[in-house]
Structure 1
Amino acid sequence: MKRLSVCMIVKNEEELLSRCLDSVMRLADEIIIVDTGSTDRTKEIAGEYAAKLFDYTWCNDFAAARNESIRHASGKWILVLDADEYLAENEYDKWNEFLNNAQSMDYLAYTMSVINFTGDKKTQEEISTMPVTRLFPNFKGIYFERPIHEQLTRGQHGELYHKQIALNIYHTGYQTQRVTEKNKHERNMSIFNEMKKHDSMSDYDWYTIGNEYRNAGEVEEAIRCYEQAFKEKYSKLAWYPFCLVGLISLYSQESRWQRVEELTNNQLSEFSDYADYHTIKGIQYETMGWVDQAIACFIDAINVAEQRASNDQEIWLVEPAYSFEKPVLQLVELYFQLNDNQQAIYWLSKLLHKNNKNPQVLLKLVEWLCQNESPDSVIILLNKIYDVTDKSNCNLLFIVSLVLGQAELVKYYVKYIDSLDHLSLLDQIRFAVILDYKEEGLALSSSDQQLDVDDQLQLWVQTAVGAIRWNDYSGIIQIKDEFKTDEISKLTELIVSMITKEHLPDEQDLKSHSSSLFLVAKQLFLIKDFEKFDEFINFMRSSELVNQLANYFYKLNLTEMAMNYYSILLSEQQLDFTSLINLGRYHVNHHYYDEAVEFFSEAVKLEPTTKSLYYSLIRHAKNEQKAEYINKFIADFPDFVGITFVDDFLHQEKELILY
């Protein structure tokens, strides 16, 4: 008997079908494809893999189509896949071990994790998981029911049990582009609407229709459906924690924090032996400004995940990121807020050791290190994390060094690069500017590439840095003429004015374009052309630009520079919201509580809805001010007073006033 039959239903899947079939060829004894009306090359591709192909007229019923596919299966085991799913080659041993050794029983099907890549770009995915039952024994009377989000059943032969196993299916079907191409939401909703007409919606169906609304961004409808699914308590069912965490996420998005706490404390707490619970709890504390409590929760999440891993248990409940990446990233931000840079860098390094291919984490770490350590020390640290004999590692380190304008690192890692021919125009200009190659840089100041608005601006910024460094604005003129955007045209006028000294810039133009001008100033600083940096700031100065620079220096632990800028802004009463918060945190961290309260109070005046500042305001205010801030918080945020830890805090602070 054949061992494994892979059964699929498809329609117009030429884009992804080959990837799916490639991933199962070494495991499957036969591939059965039911086609529901393809008009592209889907059938031709299926033929190239010797698949058994059957035509089927679509009747708006996924279960019927699935059953048609398994009807033709002759293997001992059936694995059901979609064309936008695939198996990982490095997990073949696990699949073979299961298929060779598991005993097929007529009452048991197997559940595994589908790992979903849901981001807008293939290189910038968001990752989530979902349990699905897709593997089951053939010839045991097991079949599908329900027209959408179909489920396996034994019908009248008794209950079908589901057992979780450590196998994975990978899925990209809900990436934004794919959803748009296939109109999945509209198709699925038409089936659900038909089911609702016949009053045949189960609690699981309400959960799945909630997923449809959530994917479509219809938050209130998603919440309504999830709550409908929650009428009964199904904590032992595989879909229950996903529905619960999804509901908590949506209520958090809507700032309905009392309901978030209720669900977390009453339902999610049942899963406190998973990292997800502690990470979600930490996010709630952080949102309300309870930094110490948030840090404790995030550390608990990491410890719980490590303990489960050491016991060879499933590490996360719903979200892989909740077990390490999310709590670590939150810890990094919180420790930076506390000016505990040593702890922040420690956790960033931990994150990079776990996944050294993450460019955003590498950028953040190297940017900070380059402003606080010598280039040699940074290189020594990076070489402990990366094998420089690996070309992909060297390319990554080289590009990050380019982006951060670090000439010493660029010179070091370029020695390990075979060729610079693969560099984009943007990176070629960066390379020329950083190493002060004027002739080469000016020759690169035009492009035939089709770039989006953000990439156009990045190209202009690097060219503008070269123009300022070399007192030659021909490159940015070429870019202005090529891209013809209002932003780039106005920015070019400002840079030309600076170089030619023909006239002073308009104050309103400086304010309107301060964010783009900040990018230029930042690059001049990073490449250590401090003379041109000072000249640029003096010419382009606005309170908006100075605030951005002060906050940037503060983030990099360049405290003296940041405070010099903050002093100027304070004397001119031009501190913005972020500057006020940074100064408030700085003074709290150094135990100057009266000054901290003044800065936080001014920040609240600028952004009255910032509830997270009230914890520090109330905690550190003198007694005569405490009552004022407590009353204001209660009046402005009545929905948050009912949160348990907020209510406890307010009662404690009120008692302090009395005594």
Structure 2
Amino acid sequence: MDKKLLGVHLVVRDEETFLSRCLSTIRDLADEVIIVDTGSTDGTLQIARSSGARVIETRWEHDFSKARNLALEHATTEWVLVLDADEALVEGQGELLETLHHTDAEAFEVHIENWLGPESEDRVGYRTVRLFRADRGYRFTGNIHEQIAPSILGLHPPSKFCNSSIKLVHYGYLPEVMQRKNKLARNIAMIQDSLTKNPRDPFQLYNLGVSFCQSGKPQAAYAVLQEARSGTDNNAAYRPTLIRDSAKVMIELQRYDEACQLLQAETARYRDYPDLYCLYACSLEQIGLLAEAYQAYEHAAQCVTIDSKYVIEAGMNSYRPRYGMATISARWGDIKTSESLQRAALKDHPRFRPSLLGLSVLLKRHGCTDEEVRGHMEAIILPACAEDNMLLSGILTEIGAFSTALPLLRASQERLNADGKRNMCECLMQTGQFIEAYKKLDSWKDEIRPLNPYYLHDLALCRLSEGKNLPYSFYEDLPSSEKKIWHALELWIQTMELQDIEQTDPILTQIAKECMDRAVQLRLLRIASKLSELNVLLPRAFASRLYRNGFLHAAAEYLLRFMEQNKLDAEGLFMLGEILYDKGHFGQSVNLFEQAAELDPNCMHARTGAALSYLEMASELISECLREQPDDPTLRNEWQRVENSKKKLTGLRWHTEWNGVQRRNFNAAKIDLPMHDR
């Protein structure tokens, strides 16, 4: 009798959630299914046996290779495909068996796509050996992140490895799965146990660094990955990913110069790795080298990733670099190119939220109404379900199109997730519907409160903006010390009086400042103004909040008043300097920027603003001369040098950046604060 062709092997423990789906995807392919169970206490064993699999029960010895090799000892097939229970075979079934009948390869790499979140951009793909001959004595090595390739390479050259058309989807890195199965703690313990035997093993150091990243410990990951790089051979298969993850940690820790230095060298080594170029571009952008960042994004977009040997995040050679180029173009003032690039990114991925938001902002700058923006977005997204409506309404909420977003949210109200409910409350408050907003906030508090640091402030402002007292339900869960603070603030807003508490109480001042900040965001400027009078420390903070939220006219009046009283600090001088700079009054703006830098020598933004003011004045002067001597090459060269310097300094992110909501406040009345309250 002919030997059976293909076996599928799994090592499992308490996998009833995923196992049936996994087995259903290989049912028509496998001549034999071997499942090694390491101690399941749920329905895993019943599912395995009812599927017809051969089940081997064994004790868990904290060693995945040992369990994998146990399955190999029982194999009766020519080939074996290794799966995890939380994986599914989604592509390549059709030609797999025919390929195995006629190949002289020893092993095949398969494409694995890790799902890291709900969106299609939350994917990371890579190739690895999962399909190999079962009758040649190959064995797995490593107690965790076990590998079969070293065993095969010990007997055969790399030419005996081929790519397959198989694609697996791995669900095990979804946050809810990681948390439920406590995989990170298990992985870290196993890796550290392996390192006690070989403390300088670079592969396990790399794995430990990745686990620290996944655990939200970037500083620990940085140190471990640095040690892993120092001991890793340049030809190691995992080295490109080690560089990628090292750079991501450096960026998270804001070590941009260090990331640039690492990636400048490594992009020269791995010129076809788009992730490295995108990370390099991000680092360059952060330190203000926009032209160089743009070029790095361009290179990433040109990388070919079919059958790539790298671990690649979704979109790193398409919509992600195009989005990066679009944002740089917008900072340069090239709105037409920016819009074109955002649309190109959305052609690659119509639901890519950063580009949807970026394009929406550009359309508003073009003068489109909120309804027109909605029309453009609908043409791209083609909303057909509640998820599409939530994506679209989220974009509209973020650009400040609250009245346009609200009907979409109401239409999907029964299916809103926590973010959708938060957006609905925001839209209700921003459109003055505070009574309904209060009811929603109260009924959805378990979902909204963890997402909203201003939850209590929103509840209070919804009531106080309507002239109503805070109800008993507002106070009942608060500690007694906080009850006293909120009662004092309620009384102050209503009567401008305090009882049983000092105005200088630091906790009162802090909560009043937070409430004032939120009131400005909700355009409840009358309430915010009252709160600013509670303590002598708050008026300047109020002026700053007005400015940061786009109320430029009102902020300017406060700032000028402080200037007359010689009470203006470096931040206030910088803000006034920005206002004058944006109006083209460069001679006056440079004076204010220099005063700000003198008061605060660490205020590099003020120094950049001063330098740009001088360059703008120089550009104006040279332009006047060019009008009289348009053919003078020296003047033309000098003008170009000045323009290049302006472009470089603009990349330093020195200027205040306002979002779509804040830009709507630019033309608000100067000081008529009550008109902003509903």
Could you state the TM-score of these two structures normalised by the residue count of structure 2? Answer: 0.70
Number of the residue aligned with 2:378:
383
Cα deviation, residue 368, structure 1:
7.2
- Give runs of aligned pairs for residues 151-300 of structure 1, distance below 5 A: 151-152=147-148, 153-154=151-152, 157-159=155-157, 161-165=160-164, 167-174=166-173, 175=175, 177=179, 180=182, 183-196=185-198, 204-205=203-204, 207-212=206-211, 215=214, 217=217, 218-219=220-221, 221-230=223-232, 232-234=233-235, 237-251=236-250, 260-300=259-299
Give 2:169's aligned amino acid: Y
Structure 1 position 534 matched with structure 2 position 525: yes
Q: Give the Cα–Cα distance (whole angstroms) in 2 for the partners of residues 589 and 76 of structure 1.
A: 77
Q: Give the Cα–Cα distance (whole angstroms) in 1 for the partners of residues 457 and 357 of structure 2.
A: 19
* Deviation string, structure 1 residues 75-115 (Cα, Å, up to 9, x no partner): 5542212234344xxx43x3433444455646532223443
Give 1:62's aligned amino acid: F
Cα deviation, residue 269, structure 1:
0.9
Structure 1 position 319 matched with structure 2 position 292: no
* Deviation string, structure 1 residues 130-160 (Cα, Å, up to 9, x no partner): 4421122443443323444322223874346
Number of the residue aligned with 2:628:
none
Q: Assess if the C-alpha contact under 8 Å between 2:144 and 2:187 holds in 1.
A: no
Structure 1 position 466 matched with structure 2 position 457: no
Greater shift after overlay, 59-68 or 179-188?
179-188
* Deviation string, structure 1 residues 239-291 (Cα, Å, up to 9, x no partner): 12112223344455566667645543333312223323432332332232223
- Give runs of aligned pairs for residues 27-38 of structure 1, distance below 5 A: 28=30, 30-38=32-40
Cα deviation, residue 316, structure 1:
7.0
Residues 621, 326 of structure 1: CA spacing in aligned structure 2 closer, same or farther, 3 A cutoff? farther
Gaps of 5+ in 1: 525-532, 623-648, 654-659
Q: Give the Cα–Cα distance (whole angstroms) in 1 for the partners of residues 35 and 386 of structure 2.
A: 41
Give 1:550's aligned amino acid: Y
SS in 1 for 2:190: helix
- Give runs of aligned pairs for residues 496-511 of structure 1, distance below 5 A: 497-502=492-497, 506=503, 509-510=508-509
Q: Percent identity?
A: 18
SS in 2 for 1:246: helix
Q: Give the Cα–Cα distance (whole angstroms) in 2 for the partners of residues 487 and 355 of structure 1.
A: 47
Q: Give the Cα–Cα distance (whole angstroms) in 2 for the partners of residues 99 and 581 of structure 1.
A: 69
Number of the residue aligned with 2:368:
373
Q: Assess if the C-alpha contact under 8 Å between 1:295 and 1:331 holds in 2.
A: yes
Q: Assess if the C-alpha contact under 8 Å between 2:581 and 2:613 holds in 1.
A: no
Q: Give the Cα–Cα distance (whole angstroms) in 1 for the partners of residues 598 and 326 of structure 2.
A: 25
Structure 1 position 149 matched with structure 2 position 145: yes
Greater shift after overlay, 357-366 or 381-390?
357-366
SS in 2 for 1:472: coil
Give 2:13's aligned amino acid: K
Residues 99, 296 of structure 1: CA spacing in aligned structure 2 closer, same or farther, 3 A cutoff? same
Number of the residue aligned with 1:450:
446
Q: Assess if the C-alpha contact under 8 Å between 1:429 and 1:462 holds in 2.
A: no
Number of the residue aligned with 1:547:
544
Q: Assess if the C-alpha contact under 8 Å between 2:441 and 2:459 holds in 1.
A: yes
Q: Give the Cα–Cα distance (whole angstroms) in 2 for the partners of residues 499 and 34 of structure 1.
A: 70
Residues 193, 204 of structure 1: CA spacing in aligned structure 2 closer, same or farther, 3 A cutoff? closer
Q: Assess if the C-alpha contact under 8 Å between 1:510 and 1:540 holds in 2.
A: no
Q: Give the Cα–Cα distance (whole angstroms) in 1 for the partners of residues 433 and 254 of structure 2.
A: 52
Q: Give the Cα–Cα distance (whole angstroms) in 1 for the partners of residues 481 and 597 of structure 2.
A: 33
* Deviation string, structure 1 residues 44-79 (Cα, Å, up to 9, x no partner): 343354432111233443222112223334555422
Residues 427, 559 of structure 1: CA spacing in aligned structure 2 closer, same or farther, 3 A cutoff? closer
- Give runs of aligned pairs for residues 511-590 of structure 1, distance below 5 A: 513-524=512-523, 533-541=524-532, 542=538, 543-553=540-550, 572-574=567-569, 576=571, 580=574, 587=581
Count, aligned residues: 592
Gaps of 5+ in 2: 533-537, 616-644, 650-678
Q: Assess if the C-alpha contact under 8 Å between 2:593 and 2:607 holds in 1.
A: no
Indicate the RMSD between aligned Cα atoms, in angstroms. 4.8
Q: Assess if the C-alpha contact under 8 Å between 1:338 and 1:585 holds in 2.
A: no
1:392 maps to which of 384, 387, 396: 387
Give 1:158's aligned amino acid: H
Number of the residue aligned with 1:63:
65
Q: Give the Cα–Cα distance (whole angstroms) in 2 for the partners of residues 431 and 487 of structure 1.
A: 28
Number of the residue aligned with 1:82:
84
Q: Give the Cα–Cα distance (whole angstroms) in 1 for the partners of residues 344 and 478 of structure 2.
A: 42
Number of the residue aligned with 2:15:
13
Residues 570, 11 of structure 1: CA spacing in aligned structure 2 closer, same or farther, 3 A cutoff? farther
Structure with greater Cα Rg = 2
SS in 2 for 1:67: helix
Cα deviation, residue 385, structure 1:
1.5
Q: Give the Cα–Cα distance (whole angstroms) in 2 for the partners of residues 395 and 254 of structure 1.
A: 32
Q: Give the Cα–Cα distance (whole angstroms) in 2 for the partners of residues 274 and 435 of structure 1.
A: 47
Q: Give the Cα–Cα distance (whole angstroms) in 2 for the partners of residues 30 and 604 of structure 1.
A: 77
Q: Assess if the C-alpha contact under 8 Å between 1:206 and 1:228 holds in 2.
A: no
* Deviation string, structure 1 residues 296-318 (Cα, Å, up to 9, x no partner): 3323433x14xx37xx5649764
Number of the residue aligned with 2:659:
none
Structure 1 position 479 matched with structure 2 position 474: yes
Give 2:382's aligned amino acid: D
Number of the residue aligned with 1:657:
none
Q: Give the Cα–Cα distance (whole angstroms) in 1 for the partners of residues 324 and 558 of structure 2.
A: 27
2:110 maps to which of 112, 133, 156: 112
Q: Give the Cα–Cα distance (whole angstroms) in 1 for the partners of residues 516 and 120 of structure 2.
A: 27
Cα deviation, residue 43, structure 1:
2.0
Q: Assess if the C-alpha contact under 8 Å between 2:10 and 2:35 holds in 1.
A: yes
Q: Give the Cα–Cα distance (whole angstroms) in 2 for the partners of residues 453 and 548 of structure 1.
A: 23
Residues 620, 464 of structure 1: CA spacing in aligned structure 2 closer, same or farther, 3 A cutoff? same
Cα deviation, residue 463, structure 1:
3.5
Residues 29, 614 of structure 1: CA spacing in aligned structure 2 closer, same or farther, 3 A cutoff? farther
Could you state the TM-score of these two structures normalised by the residue count of structure 1? Answer: 0.72
Residues 179, 438 of structure 1: CA spacing in aligned structure 2 closer, same or farther, 3 A cutoff? closer
SS in 2 for 1:514: helix
SS in 2 for 1:379: helix
SS in 2 for 1:285: helix
* Deviation string, structure 1 residues 434-488 (Cα, Å, up to 9, x no partner): 665566556556348535754464544544453254322446x533434559779
* Deviation string, structure 1 residues 134-193 (Cα, Å, up to 9, x no partner): 122443443323444322223874346433456443335454525735632343224413
SS in 1 for 2:182: helix
Residues 158, 143 of structure 1: CA spacing in aligned structure 2 closer, same or farther, 3 A cutoff? same
